[in-house]
Structure 1
Amino acid sequence: MSKELLALQVWPGKVLRVSTGDGDVHALVEDAGAAPDGIVVDSRVAYWTTMGTPTTDPDTPGEAGQDFSRRNGGVHAFPLDGGTPREVLPAGAITTGKQLTSDGAGTLYWGDREGHRISRVRTDGTGLTDLVVTPAGDGILGECVGVAVDPARGHLYWTQKGPAKGGQGRIFRTGLDMPPGENAENRSDVELLWSGLPEPIDLHLDGDWLYWTDRGAAPDGNTLNRAPVPAPGTHGRPPEILATGFAEAIGLAVDSEAGLAYVSDLGGHIRAVPLPDGPAAARTPWDVVTLPNPLTGLCLLP
């Protein structure tokens, strides 16, 4: 059965509505702000982050010449049943908004890459709180990107991608509740689950499986991966690579009912990937759509 995705076009910033059946695309929000990156739907409202406008080095072409360390990211909202966009957190409230997720009960969580933190806020813009802050001295190794929450078990997962194609990517877990007397800069409940990954980006938690995209170097990078959620106090098992050959894999949505994962990339593709043992397992991955501009965040419309 055909379903719909929301996808973010990073330049120029748009929220796109995409049919998984026929690849039909139309703009839900024509002006989504500067460099949108993470998107989620909660109670028929689409929420997304923006990275903000970078400082550009004219002598360094491409992404390497873009510096997002200025604090001009934000969190934004648009009601799916009609209305106008609004700001949950205005531009400048955060540094670089990356993947965004929800607990399904009115709280949003995101990675702030150059801000070196994982934060949350209620959908009405109140209660802005940092849950994890990595040391500034860690540099690019401390930049937080992907995020997933498990309200039932009280866990938060996130990625620190490390340098481009660097093989120093990591995935961590901590509690959704702060240990008494501790703070976001110094938590005793942080677990390192995976290390030495090419460059992990976005996460998706589905039951007892954690999925992630990786935009690092082949053969293990530019892939879709999954692994069982580790038991408390244990490290993750080596990931299973479900698909390869993406053009800088970023966004991720998993439809466990249909047995499909969807991955977006900076090459403008949204690819459907059959999951093992799912109803489409015998098929090879296919492109739902290919667009002329780079794509970042991705989510299924409920």
Structure 2
Amino acid sequence: MKKIGININTTKDKDGEIIKYVKNVVSKYIDDNNIFIFKDAFGLKNIKYNDLDIIIALGGDGTILRTSRNINNSNTPILGVNIGNLGFLSSVELLEFENAMKKIIADDYYVEDRMMLKCTLPLRGESEEYTALNDIIVSKGTLSRVVKYELHIDDKFYIDFTGDGLIISTPTGSTAYSLSAGGPIIYPNLDVIALTPICPLSLSMRTIVLDSKSEISVSIKCEHESIFLTLDGQRAIKLNSYEKILVSVSNKKCRLVKFNDYNYFGILRKKIISRTTDCEGEKDENCTSCKNN
């Protein structure tokens, strides 16, 4: 381990005490000249940071999402340290950081690759490619009426529907907006893409789960309405009427640092399903659920 980057969400560390603490811990193992501080992901895209061995993302899930979209070298793993509210994607809480750092130095961890999506706007004649770890969303503006969307999968017509929008999510993003809109929970290592409508007017339009090799084409059919393309709920691009969006799996991966005691189902139960600190078995005397049963 030679070079480490630390990306801090400054809105969650207004007095600078958290970044100071984390840097002091890292300094016990890494020379100060090889520790690079980033605020709100600014500067991460600079190619001179392509050789970072790891990036520590201090914040919540949004900080990890922003970090994953902004790093140039997708081989660089991200250690998520939760200082936010949910922290579903994070590997550790802040109080566990020093122990986590010891494991990293001892090479006692593994890296989990997460699928990312890419999309383009072909009718604009632009070459820019947008990426997302959680989801790509096409939706109407706040005061707009419902909009008609036409979907093609691998150049074959699938369906058209009228509604508020469409969520195209990765397995990682299946527990985010897609889940709130009625989509399924998808195990994060599966190679699939989920399409979940937002408030469709027809009962026939429901979530469909596609092979990751699929290319999704979304055509908008509306006039005088505000339509937006949103990436991971963080970046919004205003679309034109009768715009077309092409979505497929990106070659870029998000690589998340995980430790051997990582339990996806325990975290899913605690932070998504029940939002409680439930026990894992039927014989925990401290668990209220166990006592009642």
For CA contacts below 8 A with separation 6 or more, give which structure has more relative contact order: 2
Which band: TM-score by shorter chain? under 0.3
> Where is the helix percentage greater, Structure 1 or Structure 2?
2
| Structure with max Cα Rg | 2
TM-score (norm 1): 0.26
TM-score normalised by the chain length of structure 2: 0.27
